[in-house]
């Protein structure tokens, strides 16, 4: 991996490596990697020249490098090393590095993923340089602009030239915002491609044994600002999670964001609630697959539980992925209602049947690659 932080590309090997990039993929955070993997693989099978940039928004090995190994992603050609910081600082640092890189290497198209700050930075820089932007996971809307991710989604979609949507509701949102129909492509969900390709590798027994878990346990993931930033919200969340742990052991792979607030509020004081470091992709989904239920505020987990059939309780007032409610196992829940909802979910057991969202069939990466290849022609 090239560690690139300078104001210009003065390493001759890096310059040569990047100079012929037809497709430039920009990733930066944990949710990007399972979305990018099937697209990169499908383009490689079509012989397309491509390069991968990692902004370093998530820089911890457990949040980043382990995904490259487990998902068979190529090592990034460039790492911008932007690290953590405020939204403005992180986005600005990524934009500065990407502008120099794109100016000197002139990719034919930039592909961005999801709603993280890295996607926003890459889309803005590309658009200003006249480089076409392709947005994978376009059109998702929570209609809650207090979420930083919602601002990112809207801006990225409106500067993009190709918009790859995972669901019909996403297509409708884009149309309602005046985006031309010929730019929009309903392709399915590339993150589900990755899940289906690795389904046999999700070792429920192995991860349960490694973490010394009982047969029945609940998984939680919590990191959204609406849950972990405000002191009153954090206190309420800890109280709600303790009420859940009164019923069933809880295992919580805890994102660095908000960890101190949760711990300061007494999260770890309940003997049946256990916090562990973030897990690799395979280990985490093995954990989720074997769980009685999942409590989360993550968008991606809502989709993964939909495909795995694990009951999902989303601790948010809204979701940008309503298809996980209409076609999956997801339900929105408040802090006040969480304990009772967990109790009823445990009593009901796993769903007897569920519908799979349209085109969530493992071939989204190939559909995206076909559109990109046509653009390059």
- Alpha helices by DSSP H, listed for the chain, are 12-19, 32-45, 65-71, 87-105, 117-129, 148-159, 168-176, 190-197, 204-210, 225-228, 231-245, 259-264, 281-289, 299-308, 323-326, 335-348, 364-376
Percentages (nearest 5) of helix, strand, coil residues in the chain: 50, 15, 35
Q: Is 212 left (phi over 0), alpha (psi -120 to 50) or beta?
A: left
Structure tokens at 265: 């509020």
How far is residue 1's CA from residue 316's CA, in Å, rounded to a whole number?
Answer: 37
Comparing CA positions, the residue from 25, 121, 123 lying closest to residue 73 is 25
Query: Of 2, 158, 168, 223, which residue is the catalytic one?
Result: 223
Are 361 and 188 within 8 A, CB to CB? yes
Q: How far is CA 340 from CA 236, 244, 287, 311, 346, in A?
A: 15, 8, 23, 14, 10
337 HSE (CA, 13 A, CB side): 12
177 neighbors 367 (Cβ within 8 angstroms)? no
DSSP state, residue 146: T
Q: Where is 185: in which H helix or E strand? A: strand 184-186
User: Do residues 343 and 311 lie in contact, with contact meaning Cβ atoms separated by under 8 Å?
Assistant: no
Tokens of 341: 């909802």
Known active-site residue 2: no
Residue in the structure block whose two tokens are 């809880």:
250
Residues labelled as active-site residues? 223
């Amino acid at each position: 991996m090239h560690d690139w932080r300078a104001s210009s590309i003065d390493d001759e090997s890096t310059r040569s490596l990047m100079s012929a990039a037809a497709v430039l993929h920009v990733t930066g955070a944990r949710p990007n990697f399972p979305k990018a993997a099937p697209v990169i693989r499908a383009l490689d099978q079509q012989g397309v020249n491509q390069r991968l940039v990692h902004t370093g928004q998530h820089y911890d090995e457990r949040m980043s490098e382990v995904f490259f190994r487990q998902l068979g992603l190529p090592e990034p050609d460039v790492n911008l090393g932007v690290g953590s910081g405020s939204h403005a600082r992180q986005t600005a640092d990524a934009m500065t590095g990407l502008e120099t890189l794109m100016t000197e290497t002139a990719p034919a198209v930039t592909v961005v993923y999801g709603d993280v700050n890295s996607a926003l930075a890459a889309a803005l820089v590309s658009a200003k340089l006249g480089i076409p932007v392709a947005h994978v996971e376009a059109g998702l809307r929570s209609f809650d602009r207090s979420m930083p991710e919602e601002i990112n989604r809207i801006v990225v979609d409106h500067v993009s030239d190709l918009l790859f949507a995972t669901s019909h509701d996403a297509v409708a949102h884009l149309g309602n915002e005046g985006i031309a129909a010929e730019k929009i492509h309903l392709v399915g969900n590339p993150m589900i491609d990755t899940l289906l390709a690795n389904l046999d590798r999700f070792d429920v027994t192995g991860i349960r044994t490694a973490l010394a878990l009982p047969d029945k346990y609940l998984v939680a993931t919590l990191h959204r600002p609406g849950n972990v930033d405000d002191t009153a919200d954090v206190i309420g969340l800890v109280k709600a999670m303790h009420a859940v742990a009164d019923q069933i052991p809880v295992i919580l792979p805890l994102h660095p964001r908000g960890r101190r607030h949760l711990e300061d509020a007494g999260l770890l004081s309940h003997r049946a609630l256990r916090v562990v470091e973030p897990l690799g992709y395979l280990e985490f989904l093995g954990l989720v697959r074997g769980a009685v239920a999942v409590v989360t505020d993550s968008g991606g987990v809502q989709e993964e539980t939909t495909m795995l059939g694990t009951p999902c309780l989303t601790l948010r007032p809204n979701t940008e992925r309503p298809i996980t409610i209409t076609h999956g196992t997801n339900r929105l829940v408040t802090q006040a209602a969480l304990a009772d909802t967990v109790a009823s979910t445990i009593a009901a057991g796993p769903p007897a049947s569920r519908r799979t969202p349209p085109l969530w069939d493992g071939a989204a990466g190939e559909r995206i690659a076909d559109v990109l290849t046509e653009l390059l022609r």
